[in-house]
Every structure is written in C-alpha cells, then in structure tokens.
Amino acid sequence: MARYVLIKIARLVSLLFVVSLLTFLLVSFSPIDPVRAYIGADMLLISPEQRAAIEAYWGLDQSLVTQYTKWLGSILSGDFGTSLIYRIPVAEVIADRFFSSILLMTMAWICSGVIGLILGSLAAMKKGTWIDRLIRGYCSVLLSTPGFWLGLLLLLTFSVWLGIFPTGLSAPIGVTSDEITFADRIYHAILPAITLSIIGIANVCLHTREKLVEVLMTPYIAQARANGYDGFTLLKRHGIRNMLLPAVSVQFASFGELFGGAILAEQIFSYPGLGQAVVDAGLEGDVPLFLAIVLISTCFVFVGNWIADLLYVLLDPRMRKGRNMS
Amino acid sequence: MKKLVFYSVIVFVLLLAACSEKPEPAANDDTNTTEAKETNQITLAIGEEPEQGFDPTTGWGRYGSPLFQSTLLSENADLEVTLDLATDYQVSTDGKKWTVMLRDDAVFSDGEPLTADDVVFTYETAKQAQSVVDVANLEKVEKNSEHEVSFYLKEPQSTFIHTLQTLGIVPEHAYDSNYAEKPVGSGPYKIVEWRKGEQLIVERNPHYYGEQPAFEQLTFLFMGEDQAIAAAKAGEVDVLSVPITSADQSIDGMNRISLESVDNRGVMLPYPEPTTNEEEEKVGNAVTSSLAIRQAMNYAVNREEMVDGVLNGEGTVAFSSVDGLPWGSDKAVIEDNNQAKAEQILKDAGWERGDDHIFEKDGQRASLPLYYPSGDQMRQSLSMVFADQMNDFGIEITTKSSSWNEIETQMHANPVMMGWGSHNPIELYSLYHSSMQGIDYYNANYYHNEKVDSYLDQALNAKTENEANEYWKLAQWDGSTGLSAVGDAPWVWLVNLNHIYYINDHIEMDDQKVQPHGHGWPITDFITEWQWQD
C-alpha cells in the first residue's frame, strides 16, 4: 500500500511539473511582457534601475530554462509571488476564493450525485414506463442545454422575478466578513451550484440507469425475484453495489468538468471564486495568479481521479484480484 | 416499488426545501431590508473595481469623490473653484509660489488632526511617485506654520489648481505600504471592509469636518454589467451605471439619467515616418505619417452616423478631446461626411485610387490595421463602423482585437481606438506635447509640432486661467497650424459618450458636472449632498 501511495504521489508531482512547464511555456510565448505585467500600471513609478533589478530577479536576461527553474524554486519554497491585479500575495487572493469555490463545487457535486443516482435507479426500475421516458427525456434535454443559458434563466426566474435568491456575489450586500454566517455563504452558492450540477445530474443518471438495467437482467436477480424480493428491497440487496460503480466513477472523474463548469457559473452569478479569478488573471495578464490557480486545479482533478480509482477497488472485489492498483 | 418512488420523492422534496429555505441570520440584512434601514444605507453598482486601492498619491480619486480623503480645493458643478481643506489660497505675481491656508478643524478618521505636515508629506510622496504630471513641476513644498503651506513651482503652471482640487491628503503618521488597502483620511467616509472582487463597504466618518452625508453606509458592488442590471431589477441596487449598449432598461422604482460627458473616443494615428525609439519599439507609420491621409479621414468620416447607430443617440459628435470645455476651441469643428473634399485633399497630395478603389501613392497602399481592446463592446462597434466608412471611401482598414498588453507594443506604429476626457486642461499637454511622447499612454502616436509645443508651454505657464485658455485654444488652431483636425490632425476624434445611470426614485441628486472619462466613479462627486426623499 505504501508503495502504491508513493507511486501515486510521484505521478502527481511529475504531472504538476509537466503542467507548470507547459503553462510557463505558453505564457512565455504570449505577447505579455512579464516585467510590464509584473509592474503593471506602476510602469511610471519604476525607475530604469528598478526595472533592471526586477528583470535580473526574474532572470529575464537568461534562457527560458534558467527562468523556469527560478520560478519553480520560488514555488517550491511556498512563494506563489504577488498578484499583479491586486498587489497582494497570490496566496491571500486565493484563500477566500478557494473557500467559495470549494463550497460551490461541493454543493453542486453532492446535488448531482444524489439526484442523479435516485433518478437513474428510478428510471431503470421502471424501465419502459412513462416515468422512464420522462427521466430520459429530461436528461437528454439537460445534456444539450448550454450551461450559461440555464444559469441566466435561473437568475432571471429565481432572483429577479421571484426574488427568492440573491442575484450574485458570495455574501450579502453591505455585510462585513465577521458578520457573514456559513448559512449566508451557502444561500449565495445555491443558484450557481444548481447551474453547475444540472449537467452532472444527467451524466450520473444515464450511467446509473444503463448499469442497473444491465444488472436487473442478470440470472441472480431473476433468482431473487423468484424468492419474492421486489422493488426497493431487491435493489438494496442485489442492485446497489453493482450499479454504484459507474455512478461513482463518473462522479469522481467529473472533477475536471466541475472546475470548468465552475468558471462559467461564477461568471454568470458574479460569484468571486477561483473560476472568476482565473478568468481575470488570464485577461489582465496576472501571470503569478494564473499559474497558481492552474496548479491548484491540476491537483484537484488528479485527486478526483485517484479517489475514483480507489473506490473502484473498494467497491468491486474483482479489481483486487490482480493487486494491480496503480 | 411504490416505496422507492415514495422515498425518492421525499428525498427530492427535502433537498428542494433545504435549497430554498432562507437561512435565519441573513433574514434581517438581506434583500428584505425594511424601508427605514434602506434610507440610511445605499448600494451602488457603478462599474470597475479600483483594484490598485485608494492611495491618492498614485492616482486614486482623480475622478469623482476620493471618499476617504479630502482635497485642499474643490470644484462645483459649473467647474468653478471652491474651498475644501483650504480656507484661502494665494498665487504670487510671478505664478511660481502658491500659498494655501488650512482649516484647523480637520481631523483624520483615526482622530489625529490634519496639519501642514500631512499636506507637505502628501505632495512629496506624490512627487516621488512621478505618476502625476502636474507634480513634476513642483520644486518644493514647505510648511510655514501648522496651518499654512507654500508650494514652489519650477515654472508658473496654470493647471496646478487642478492638482490642488484632486490630490487627496494622506496622513503622515498612518501611511505605509498597506495604505492603498486600508486608507485613513479626512474625507466624508471611512473604509469598513474591502472584499476584493466582490464589494467595498464604507461608513460615515464621524470626525468629518464638513456636513455629515445623509447616508450612514455605502456599499459598492463589483460585478459584471449584466449581473449588476439583474441585481438592480431585483431591487438590490440603488445607483447603477449601465453601458450605452444596454441603456434601454426599464427598472421599477428607478429613474434613468443620461449625463453629457467629455468621455471621448477617437482613433489615434501615428504621426512620424516609420522609425524606432530608444526602447527598440516600432514608432510611426508609412500611411498615417501623410497629413493628407489624416485630414481625409477626418473629413470623410460620418460622426453623426456613429452617434445614432452605435450610441443610439446617447452621445455627441467629437471634434477634439476637449469639446465644450472652457479651453475647447470652436475652430476645431469641421464639416465632416464630406467624401468629395476628402478625396480632393488626397489627390492634391498625389494619392490616386488603385484598381480596387483603395488610394495609393508611390506604391504605398492606404491600408491600415486598427487596434481596439478586446471585450470593450463600444470600442469594437465604433472600430467596425469606422472601418466600414473608410473602406467605402477608399482607405482600407482592418480591425484587430487585442489585449491592452498587445496594444501597448503596437500603439506607436498603428492606429488605436482610444478614449480620454478630463476636467483638467493638462490632458491637452499630455496628449500633444512632444515631451510626452511614449510616456504611458500619453502622446503614444509621437505627435510633434514646435509651434504647438510652444503654445502648450505658454498655456501651462500662464498666470491666470483665462490667459491659459487662450493658449490652449491657439494650440488647437492659430490660423495656420494646430493640433486639431484642421491642422495636423493627429487624431480622428469621433464621439463623446453620455454616461447613463439608473437611480433609486428616492435619492435626490443635484446637478452634475460634465462627466469626465471613466464611467462610474464620477457620479460620486457630490455624494455628500445626496438626500433621501420619501
């Protein structure tokens, strides 16, 4: 097991290395002059000597290889640099936004998992009936709905028209940080989370349905039915474990989409999270902030996939046979 | 089987209930604010976040109210000089020494008194920052007594009064590297919290020497334009600025106001022949270095069509960067949409139409890119319309959408859709004086005319504002040369944009100034005088 964990960590590290290198290269090929970007609007406040000092500090007079190793060195020492947009350490910019984004994604993720599972099982158990057709139709419509359009629709309906939810932001208007409760944060994350989970629901639901339909055709289910089991009991005793597999793998493998979707949802609802920060960073050439968020999101997606692997092993005894766990 | 359906429904309903239940703690300070509470705090969504923070010495507060700080002098709606921190001021006969007397009851929001030391400190800090042109001419600033300061200028400078009107005073004892984030000042409001990327909360400064403003708390929201409009429709916003592109909202309980401005847009044309500057950047352009091309563009363009088509009538045609200001020259106005005249100008200068109807001269086609910042709908539309009009006329223009970073590297050698507009005539100096070539975005097209330079110098060094205004006007056109379209035509000024706001019916604002560049913050200019009317 220890060896397995070590291998995984080695993989993550190598992945981060490659991603950071690629990002770094892309950024270096972009028309953004890093010093200009670093100094930003203070171009005039900087004397030529200072500029030269900064260039030397970044090693811009050296080769790309040297530059990259320097940047890597400061990252490894835990220094993500200073955000160019906000003039404060990147870590500070990310801290609060990280919480907002994680809250949003967690809510969306749980929502899509639970509802997707329920709807999927329901459709499979009632295969061929109007319920099944309704759920499948609903999923197909959702899958082909553009997320931003749906978000705007929710915004117009629930915030502007009905006034049930706030129109945006991650906290009530005009209330200071120490007065904001966790409930406030959740309340403000609901609409973006629904927007974000809608697509996920359809994915999990359809996968679950397919698998359960398959399971329900197996001989042991026929046996169980003959023994008088029916409905929910049957599902509980013989169906759940088998049908959870695809659902779980889809759920955890969807971390990447989750992050991508969050960028969109945060834009629609002016919800200040990592997604919005990465868009701002990209548009304004805030290189340090951009790289930091890229690394965080890479870790996030990697861990998601890793958990999916692990759960597979836990849920499916057949996977353990070869002890082939990486 | 029935059980499963039943359970699912239960779970689903529970989930929905969990999602839609309004948390208790938020109930009394959220959307359901009572009228009584609403009257002493208002919410504003007026655009861009001042991401650099609130330090006047690096430029905060140049437009609108500095909120947290106060200035020595101020300006009323008719652009007349009024007193603020100053009780009086005098200018020496040679125009080089300005003496300002300070009030003795001004206190910073932390309770410390504001004295001459703070004024000296503020101006010295700004001078070191070298970000504000006006302070470059300041030789030294000296304290005569606790409540009297003298400014010594290297050269007489008529526009120095604008510096006194816009530079907020910072406290010497509480100024450090975090000042921009946590400002302390003597202004009507003090900062409570700035949640970056989300909102800025300020409250009344109890130590403010002036009349206390009517509103206890102001909250500035930083959200996208569409979200801000949605929030206003949901009744969460009291003051909203909208771009002209979405100026036809109908929002219950809000009045729409449209303010005229000098917030202008125009095409900046590189002036010299192609060369490079000290930083090895490309400067100048083979096509736009031709006077005939620059003038032809100014005469051929149809500005009225842009005001009607792109701005939906919410603006005015622009012939200069200072239309309608006391130092604007009526001689800069020309009869545009005159293709015949434009063609004549080109033909006289030896340009001829090629087979494809585009003008050529000595093998050089009149073909140009036009850069505009991506994501700015207004500039994009203006660029497209301008390109269409010019292509029809015979000058080929290809629009290019770029980041500001990219534009900064291209703007000395290619036309760019730019915007300016200020209450300070120094902007004319910054845009057209040869000493300002390539500094920041000023004079980025490297315009240079000795005669104009000398008029600009004389305007700047004039002792009175009236005398200065005469020279500002001469710089634009003196009968034989000038920086306006009838002269060297280094720009094709197109339009002045109106600024459109939606304001809660209950909020009463007095007259506003002609709005400067930068939609949003200028509305806060007289925020201390806003009243709530039931």
> 10-residue block means of pLDDT along chain B (534 residues)?
46 43 38 49 88 83 84 87 93 92 94 94 82 71 95 90 91 90 93 90 93 91 88 92 86 90 94 89 94 96 95 94 91 93 96 94 95 89 96 96 86 94 88 88 92 94 89 95 95 95 89 76 83 85
Which residue of A31, A125, A173 is in closest CB contact with B221?
A173
Q: Which of B419, B398, B390 is nearest to B298 (CA)?
A: B390
Cβ distance of A269 and B227 shorter than 8 Å:
yes
| Residue B34 DSSP symbol | -
Q: Are A93 and A296 in contact (CB under 8 A)?
A: no
- Higher confidence at residue B315 or residue A70? B315
Distance of CA B269 to the CA centre of its chain: 21
Q: Which of B284, B531, B262, B279 is nearest to B422 (CA)?
A: B262
Cβ neighbourhood burial of B258 (10 Å; 0-12, 13-18, 19+): middle
Q: Are B267 and B492 in contact (CB under 8 A)?
A: yes
- Name residue B388's amino acid: D
- Higher confidence at residue A40 or residue A48? A48
Query: Looking at residue A35, what is its pLDDT?
Result: 61
Which residue of A45, A125, A156 is in closest CB contact with B4?
A125
Query: Looking at residue B122, what is its pLDDT?
Result: 94
**Cα–Cα distances in angstroms (integers) from residue B164 to residues B120, B121, B135, B381, in the given order:** 12, 14, 10, 38
- The whole-angstrom separation of Cα B41 and Cα B216 is 6
Q: Does residue A185 surpass a pLDDT of 80?
A: yes
Q: What angle do CA B126, B131, B135 make, to 5 degrees?
A: 55
Q: Are A58 and A84 in contact (CB under 8 A)?
A: no
Please name the residue of chain B whose CA is at the shortest distance from the CA of residue A270.
Answer: B223
Which residue of A159, A164, A170 is in closest CB contact with B230?
A159
- Higher confidence at residue B305 or residue A264? B305
Alpha helices in B370-509 (DSSP H): 377-393, 404-410, 426-432, 450-460, 465-476
CA dihedral for A139, A143, A144, A146, sign (positive or negative): positive
**Over residues A165-183, mean pLDDT:** 85
Q: Which of B365, B369, B304 is nearest to B334 (CA)?
A: B304
Cβ distance of A187 and B26 shorter than 8 Å:
yes
**Over residues A306-315, mean pLDDT:** 80
- The whole-angstrom separation of Cα B365 and Cα B398 is 13
Cβ distance of B230 and A168 shorter than 8 Å:
yes
Query: Looking at residue A325, what is its pLDDT?
Result: 47
- The whole-angstrom separation of Cα B61 and Cα A142 is 48
How crowded is residue A267: how many other Cβ atoms within 10 Å of its Cβ? 18
Dihedral angle, C-alpha A107, A110, A114, A115, nearest 10 °: 40
- The whole-angstrom separation of Cα B87 and Cα A233 is 87
Query: Looking at residue B30, what is its pLDDT?
Result: 40
Cβ neighbourhood burial of A67 (10 Å; 0-12, 13-18, 19+): middle
Give contacts of A 175-214 with B, CB under 8 A: 175-177, 179, 181, 183-184, 186-187, 190, 194
Cβ distance of A166 and B31 shorter than 8 Å:
yes
Q: Which of A40, A39, A90, A34 is nearest to A64 (CA)?
A: A34
Highest mean pLDDT among A74-88, A233-247, A285-299, B372-386: B372-386
Cβ distance of B11 and A118 shorter than 8 Å:
yes
Query: Coil, strand, or helix at residue A107?
Result: helix
Q: Are A199 and A261 in contact (CB under 8 A)?
A: yes
Pairing of β B531-532 and β B73-75:
unpaired
Distance of residue B63 Cα from the nearest chain A Cα, in angstroms: 17
Query: Looking at residue A142, what is its pLDDT?
Result: 82
Dihedral angle, C-alpha B499, B503, B509, B511, nearest 10 °: 20
Query: Which residue in A119, A167, A190 has the most chain B C-beta atoms within 10 A of its own C-beta, making it the best mutation to test that interface?
Result: A167
- Higher confidence at residue A155 or residue B11? A155
- The whole-angstrom separation of Cα A175 and Cα B221 is 12
Distance of residue B532 Cα from the nearest chain A Cα, in angstroms: 18
Q: Are B106 and B209 in contact (CB under 8 A)?
A: yes
Query: Which residue in B10, B12, B14, B19 has the most chain A C-beta atoms within 10 A of its own C-beta, making it the best mutation to test that interface?
Result: B19
- What count of CB pairs under 8 Å joins A to B? 156
What one-character-per-residue DSSP string does B105-127 give? --B-TTSPBP-HHHHHHHHHHHH
Q: Torsion-angle region of residue B134: left (phi > 0), alpha (psi -120 to 50) or beta?
A: alpha
- The whole-angstrom separation of Cα A311 and Cα A83 is 38
- Partnered with residue B255 across adjacent β-strands are B503
Cβ distance of B53 and A37 shorter than 8 Å:
no
Alpha helices in B130-206 (DSSP H): 133-136, 160-166
- Name residue B500's amino acid: I
Q: Torsion-angle region of residue B61: left (phi > 0), alpha (psi -120 to 50) or beta?
A: left
Give contacts of A 239-298 with B, CB under 8 A: 267-270, 272, 276-277, 280, 283, 285
Cβ distance of B193 and A285 shorter than 8 Å:
no
Residue A48: partners with Cβ closer than 8 Å, 6 or more residues away: none
Q: Which of B275, B300, B277 is nearest to B285 (CA)?
A: B275
Which residue of B1, B29, B197 is in closest CB contact with A276?
B197
- The whole-angstrom separation of Cα B257 and Cα B261 is 13
Q: What angle do CA B218, B222, B223 make, to 5 degrees?
A: 130
**Over residues A82-107, mean pLDDT:** 84
How crowded is residue B350: how many other Cβ atoms within 10 Å of its Cβ? 11
Percent of chain A with pLDDT over 70: 85
Residues of A whose CB is below 8 A from B180: 87
Which residue of B4, B23, B224 is in closest CB contact with A235?
B4
Distance of residue A279 Cα from the nearest chain B Cα, in angstroms: 12
- Partnered with residue B364 across adjacent β-strands are B361
- The whole-angstrom separation of Cα A239 and Cα B310 is 62
Which residue of B53, B221, B230 is in closest CB contact with A155?
B230
Pairing of β B416-418 and β B264-268:
antiparallel
Query: Coil, strand, or helix at residue B152?
Result: strand
Highest mean pLDDT among A196-200, A233-237, B216-220: B216-220
- The whole-angstrom separation of Cα A174 and Cα B237 is 11
Query: Which residue in A27, A28, A44 has the most chain B C-beta atoms within 10 A of its own C-beta, making it the best mutation to test that interface?
Result: A44
Length of chain B, in residues:
534
